[in-house]
Amino acid sequence: DAGVIQSPRHEVTEMGQEVTLRCKPISGHDYLFWYRQTMMRGLELLIYFNNNVPIDDSGMPEDRFSAKMPNASFSTLKIQPSEPRDSAVYFCASSLGLGDTQYFGPGTRLTVL
């Protein structure tokens, strides 16, 4: 398996634009997580899915953020409209179970100007 795949690796956009980050988890993993890495809060869990169903989205900072998982092999994290304070590295991870080892993608570095 190629591991968790994220795209794009880098995204530069202007304030107010819509941004969509994509993730393909490892086949057979039932859990998918979206994280944001910041200096102040480290790895911040935004939302996680179990069998394509969102279980906990309490980490999503505000309504501008939304995430979907239409099938077991694809998830998106959307920010609309984007703001400069959204600039960060966003990671997607997947695992067999909630407490099991999570396998992370390489991350998407988002810069909002």
Q: Residues in the site for other proteins, rule: CB under 8 A?
A: 4, 33, 35, 40-45, 48, 55-56, 91, 93, 98-99, 101-107
d(CA 17, CA 67): 17
Nearer to other proteins, 28 or 42 (CB): 42
Nearer to other proteins, 37 or 66 (CB): 37
**What is the 8-class DSSP label of residue 92?**
E
The total number of residues written for the chain in this structure: 113
CB of 8 to other proteins, least distance (A): 14
Beta bridge mates, 20: 78
CB of 35 to other proteins, least distance (A): 7
